[in-house]
Chains A and B, each alone.
Chain A
Amino acid sequence: MTATGAPAARAGLPARVAGRHTGTWAVYRAERRKLSSQLAVRLLALICVLGPFLFAAVLKVQSGSPTDDLFGVWVHSSGYALSLVVLTFAGSWGFPLMAGIVTGDMFSAEDRYGTWKMLLTRSCTRRDLFVGKLLVAATFSLGLLLVTAVASIAAGVLLVGNQSLVSLSGTLFSPGRSLGLVLLSWLLCAPPTLAFASLAALLSITTRNGIMGVVGPGLAALAMQLLLLVGAGVWAHSLLVGSAFGGWHALFTEHPFYGQLAVAIAVSVLWTVACLAISWSILRGRDFAGTPVVRRQGWGMPVRVVLALAAVVTFLAIAGNWGPAGVTSARLQASLTPTFNNLTLIQQRELGRTVPPGAKLDIVPTCSRRGSTPRGPGDWICTMNVFIPQPGAVPFQQTPVTYDVSVDSDGCYKAQSPPSFIGQQTMRDAQGRSVINPLYTIYGCLNILRGG
């Protein structure tokens, strides 16, 4: 800036303040103002605040529960389960869509309105604009995430209650521990949310098309969910940033496993850095030659991007079997057996029977996968052979309980047994109240990265 002052001084002009290079934070303030004035963002914020309360209210007036979710069966039993159900839905669809709405049109809108040249002729550099816009996108994305987290916890606690939470290992977590873990789980969704925001920025800059930028992250999330259904390998699945939203599951087991959590965070960071690096290289070298917007908004670039994404999806589908299988018989048995044990103890206590502390059932599990391959996600059959002590000549009564287990590629599973084995979905507790039968459907997660 020294060069600036010299001619002015020579010409006798007074030093001027306006027009001086103002930097990233000036862009940040301006972009924040722009984004907060957009109707879509305001509506999104409203949904984030009211959505969890509406969801809780609907659950309150009906007896059913979202049984497809890991904690869905417990939404009437603990307010924290409700927050985790909201978090699961947000991880599948909410966060990618939110990232698209906040970030997807942030750059392409400048093309649509023809305002790049107005911005770039002010007192800020391309780098300032790029960084400033991204900071605003991150602020709004994380802000909305936190708002949803607080709203869902508040809705759960206020409308359901501050009860203990049944973990994915069938143990009870105290309300305090549950609150801490739920908050931590929401925070752990921040890295993949930022990764999807970066993807939205990349699509926005590359295609210069707002629709692609807004819808693209949601489509990418859908594609990733479909890819997670293909193949049994761990490597390609772990590289999909969509799977990173499930990293928090590891916290809700009796013995938390942090390997998957670390991989989820690392993959999120990798996606974020890659998307932003490509975005910046494109924006930095771009000529703002003022080609009419109507020509820019053509379908040529979006079609090329879609074709490129299709190629990537095909490649990942082929790569789905790369690496070791995360779901094996041994791992499933090691996870399901203690969970079944713990839930049985909970059930017995609720039925009013005395269960000594540290009681443990004598269980011999056998798990086998349906289909041609003995490993990988999919449908399994597990039989829990429970040996119950009894008086008489035969010291044990063998009671087999068979579960149909559906295992996802991230290692989380849902096990269901016919009512003839474990009773109906609801049962009467010792006080005669209708409560959830904990053994009716078992949810759990196994560590797919564990050795052996």
Chain B
Amino acid sequence: MFSIAAASERFSFNHVVLDRGVAEPRRHRPVRSGDDRARDPRVLTLGGALSGAEPPPPSRRLGRDGGGLGRYGDRVAAVRASGLVKRFGTTCALDSVDLVVEEGEVRGLLGPNGAGKTTLLRILFGLVRADAGSVELFGRKVGPADSGALEGVSGFVEDPSFYPYLSGRANLELLAELDGGATRERVDGVLERVGLGARGADRVSGYSTGMKQRLGIAASLLRAPRALLLDEPTAGLDPAGVREVGALVRELSAEGVAIVLSSHQIAEIEGVCDTFTVLRRGRRVWDGTVAALRAQAPASAYRLATSDDRRALEIAKHRPGVRPEPSLGDGLVLAVEEGQLDSYVLALGQAGVAVRRLELARSPLESMFFALTGESATAPESPSAVGEPALAGT
């Protein structure tokens, strides 16, 4: 375990730092060629129906492969926040935070509760005035009295809220009215896409938290966004819903939509993000690509239950790359470096110790996240299966 200060010194930030110290994200996800996209009926039908966007032209897709368009100096970023400061009384919610998101980029906005994620999103939406700094969306300055700057920008902050006395469909129609109207087919389309097709006529007062979350996503998609800012979009969703949101984010990203996903659990969004910005107490403590984060991350932690935990612990202490950690419950928690897990399990077998349960307690990225944000590493109970992030695209 290491402290934040130690972590900051230890990690070499291998990304390029541009103006105001904003890190340029390095794309690690392979971008499909234009022909691949054209042959993929899922992207064309679902994506087109949901966002109203046509597939990007070949020139743009080539650009995403590194043809020069990836640099911020060449085109306007979807989101550019510079030096944002926001104080609520004596509390500094944001302290000189920068954020840049390109079109087609999925940026995870991470941090524990109270880190400043929601405040940052509120400022991006113009709901709150920053004490200092500026925000540009597609090159347009954002101010509290001018929601016109939000053209092409959609999403929600905190829990999506609706009029409880209206149906889900009526709520969407009403919001669509504010955007200039939408056809019934389009409203039905987004309701179907988020799994609310059968409940669209019901009043929102009867919706569960997860259903409201889905309706919030539907409301965001209704606007055909070019930038999507989602504050904890998977909160309250069941596992299937979480997976669907991941798939949706990937589809929209492939169409060129810039997406900001905020979460306080890296495990929920690590599978879909290109880049991460990690906040801690209003300050940005990490900004870079997932690959960079992963490369510098410490070992994974596993929760292990055996027929003889004491013997298993003894074996672990003498294995290279395996380090026992304090455990709050039954069984063991072991930090295991990559490639060492198999040999350790085999060693247990040879010693006559049966493995009864083995699950990922903390992925490398989670370990990194806890180190950056100063949270306890043993606290969270990850529901994830081994090696599979929760918000993985299909």
Contacts and interface: CB of A to CB of B under 8 A. Distances in A.
Does B associate with A? yes
Interface of A: 1, 3-4, 6-8, 10-14, 16-22, 26-27, 29-30, 33-34, 37-38, 113-128, 284-285, 287-290
B224 A114 contact: no
Contact of B157 (A4, A12, A290): A290
Given A3-B139, A120-B126, 4 more contacts: A8-B226, A11-B75, A118-B219, A121-B147
Contact of B147 (A11, A30, A120): A120
Given A17-B180, A113-B163, A290-B158, A7 B76 contact: yes
A287 B151 CA distance: 20
B150 A123 contact: yes
Contacts of B174: 30, 33-34
Nearest to A289: B128
Interface string B47-60: 00000111011011
A7 B75 contact: yes
A127 B148 CA distance: 11
Interface residues of B, number: 61
Which 6 interchain pairs have the tightest Cβ spacing? A114-B161, A7-B76, A122-B178, A21-B148, A288-B127, A12-B60
A12 B126 CA distance: 27
A7 B138 CA distance: 6
Of the candidates A27, A33, A38, A287, the one having the most CB atoms from chain B within 10 angstroms of its own CB is A287
Given A27-B178, A287-B128, A123 B147 contact: yes
Interface in B215-261: 219, 222-226, 256
A18 B59 contact: no
Contact of B52 (A18, A27, A284, A289): A18
Nearest to A39: B165
Nearest to B148: A21
5 contacts: A3-B139, A16-B53, A19-B224, A121-B125, A122-B150
Contacts of B157: 117, 121, 290
Of the candidates A10, A33, A128, the one having the most CB atoms from chain B within 10 angstroms of its own CB is A10
A48 B146 CA distance: 39
Given A118-B156, A287-B129, A290-B157, A4 B151 contact: yes
B383 interface: no
A117 B125 contact: yes
Nearest to A109: B163
B175 A122 contact: yes
A205 B152 CA distance: 29
B154 interface: yes
A13 B182 contact: no
Contacts of A288: 122, 127-128
Contact of B153 (A6, A7, A19): A19
A124 B178 contact: yes
Interface string B102-140: 010000000000000011001001111100000000111
B180 A6 contact: no
Contacts of B152: 4, 8, 16, 19
Given A121-B150, A289-B88, A284 B145 contact: yes
A287 B224 contact: no
B388 interface: no
A312 B234 CA distance: 50
Nearest to B88: A289
Contacts of A118: 156, 160-162, 175, 219
B83 to A, nearest CB: 19
Contact of B138 (A3, A20, A116): A3
A325 to B, nearest CB: 48
